């Protein structure tokens, strides 16, 4: 299927083009023939991958970076009003388009699957993209993380299916009109945008109401928030539930761990299917079942899709093995919400054998830490020892009295072995001083803690030699 460049998007300029969501949209537009430009705060492999597709990428933000012939400026919710390129666009009358509107325009004329949920969106979207590609269906996709190389978060496929990660954080997933929507779970997060769990439920209900007539909602039968949403939506949309609950439409009857992989058995339409999942942990297995149910709802034979799901071997920052040195495996995790932290730590604990699980955790956002510090501390009790860095602020300004000490104090009060690190260099020294052959080191968080994996491996190698 030859897809066209959406109207007004033939010469788009992206502010913050290196971000996961923004770069994916830019990549698809470039593949469709648009003349893409953009800017980002720093140089990156993603910027280089975009340049390889013909995009012009500036480092730093300046009004002069906005091309004279730009037809649209694409922004995310993270771009502040005072950004000089945004100000220049408004002064010149260049249309400003939110990234969710740009993505919605790209999905026009396709059969979209939109993947939503407080946790697991990137993994589930990736599983579907990889499995459908393995089956030769060449889907288009836009994912919040790279599959195997910088820039692999998006693809403009020749097939009719478009798989997209649907972000609830700023309600932008209300812009999509999917044929199949997945809701993995519903929890309170993004405290700067949602005041209560009731607001979250309202937002997910609005997303489900966007499913096209005759479409399907695939939703967890295990998660309390998802079950509440299912009850609320009764009669409004065709629903397929999945999970370990006895009343699930796609019922999981077994999840058998095998080190860093697992084997899953489900009953779907009365038939039993057993397939491999090439990443560890119960929550990743359930993500794969959600992907299976969604593909089946779109008409892809489950018997074909199930084995194809084994082709997914991970996405960057989702329990990604960075390497091994001195007998110590170093793994990177994007987990930053307590539920995600707990799930990843339980998965790693199940794969660690007799080795210890050591964590370097970087809290993400002052608002999240203010609300969930106690729960983050509780999650860290699942590690044998943890090092906690200062809060990564991202787009937020500091909140008085909110520091990572709230987490270390909560963890220590629950009996955890936890140490604060003044900076990343100190964290590397602390964790490598603890690590012994057979241990697993987990760098965890949504900020730049991901940069520590190679440094930890290098330090371990130096100590070994």
122 is catalytic: yes
Q: What are phi and psi of 329, to 5 degrees?
A: -85, 135
Q: Which of 27, 46, 110, 165 is catalytic?
A: 165
Q: What are phi and psi of 65, to 5 degrees?
A: -75, -20
Strand ranges for 125-178 from DSSP E: 140-142, 154-155, 161-165
316 is catalytic: no
165 is catalytic: yes
Q: Which of 46, 110, 121, 125 is catalytic?
A: 121
Collapsing DSSP states into helix, strand and coil, what is residue 20? Answer: helix
Q: Give the CA count within 13 Å in the CB-facing half-sphere of 202.
A: 7
Tell me how far apart the terminal alpha carbons of the chain are, to the nearest angstrom: 55
Q: What does the alpha-carbon distance between residue 55 and residue 69 come to, in Å, rounded to a whole number?
A: 15
Q: Which of 71, 122, 125, 133 is catalytic?
A: 122
Collapsing DSSP states into helix, strand and coil, what is residue 204? Answer: helix
Beta-bridge mates of residue 218 = 182, 240
- The closest of 444, 455, 414 to 348, measured between CA atoms, is 444
Q: Annotated binding residues, as ranges?
A: 117-123
- The closest of 287, 299, 393, 282 to 347, measured between CA atoms, is 282
Q: How far is CA 225 from the centre of its chain?
A: 19
Q: How far is CA 69 from the centre of its chain?
A: 34
Residues designated catalytic: 121-122, 165
């Amino acid at each position: 299927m030859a897809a066209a460049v959406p109207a007004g998007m033939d010469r788009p300029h992206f502010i913050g083009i290196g971000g996961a969501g923004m770069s994916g949209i830019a990549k698809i537009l470039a593949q469709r023939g648009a003349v893409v430009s953009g800017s980002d705060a720093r140089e990156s492999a993603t910027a280089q991958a975009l340049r390889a597709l013909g995009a012009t990428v500036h480092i730093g933000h300046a009004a002069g970076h906005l091309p004279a012939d730009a037809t649209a400026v694409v922004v995310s919710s993270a771009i502040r009003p005072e950004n000089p390129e945004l100000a220049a666009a408004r002064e010149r009358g260049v249309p400003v388009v939110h990234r969710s509107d740009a993505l919605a325009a790209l999905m026009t004329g396709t059969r979209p699957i939109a993947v939503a949920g407080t946790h697991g969106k990137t993994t589930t979207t990736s599983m579907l993209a990889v499995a459908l590609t393995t089956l030769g269906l060449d889907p288009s996709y836009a994912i919040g993380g790279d599959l195997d190389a910088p820039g692999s978060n998006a693809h403009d496929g020749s097939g009719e299916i478009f798989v997209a990660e649907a972000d609830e954080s700023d309600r932008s997933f209300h812009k999509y009109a999917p044929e199949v929507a997945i809701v993995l779970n519903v929890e309170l997060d993004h405290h700067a945008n949602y005041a209560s769990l009731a607001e979250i439920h309202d937002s997910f209900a609005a997303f489900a109401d966007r499913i096209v007539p005759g479409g399907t909602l695939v939703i967890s039968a295990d998660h309390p928030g998802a079950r509440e949403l299912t009850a609320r939506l009764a009669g409004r949309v065709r629903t397929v539930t999945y999970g370990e609950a006895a009343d699930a439409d796609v019922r999981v009857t077994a999840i058998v761990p095998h080190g860093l992989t697992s084997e899953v058995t489900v009953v779907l339409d009365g038939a039993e299917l057993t397939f491999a999942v090439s990443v560890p942990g119960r929550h990743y297995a359930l993500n794969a079942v959600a992907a299976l149910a969604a593909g089946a709802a779109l008409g892809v034979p489950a018997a074909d899709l199930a084995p194809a799901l084994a082709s997914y071997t991970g996405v960057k920052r989702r329990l990604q093995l960075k390497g091994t040195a001195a007998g110590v495996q170093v793994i990177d995790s994007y987990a930053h919400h307590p539920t995600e932290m707990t799930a990843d730590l339980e998965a790693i604990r199940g794969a660690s054998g007799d080795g210890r699980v050591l964590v370097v955790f970087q809290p993400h956002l002052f608002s999240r830490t203010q609300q969930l510090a106690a729960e983050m501390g509780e999650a860290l009790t699942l590690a044998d020892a943890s090092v906690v860095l200062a809060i990564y602020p991202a787009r937020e300004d500091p909140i008085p009295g909110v520091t990572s000490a709230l987490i270390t104090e909560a963890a220590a009060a629950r009996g955890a072995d936890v140490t604060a690190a003044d900076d990343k260099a100190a964290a590397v020294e602390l964790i490598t001083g603890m690590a012994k052959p057979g241990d697993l080191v987990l760098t965890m968080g949504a900020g730049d803690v991901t940069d520590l994996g190679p440094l930890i491996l290098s330090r371990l190698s130096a100590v070994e030699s």
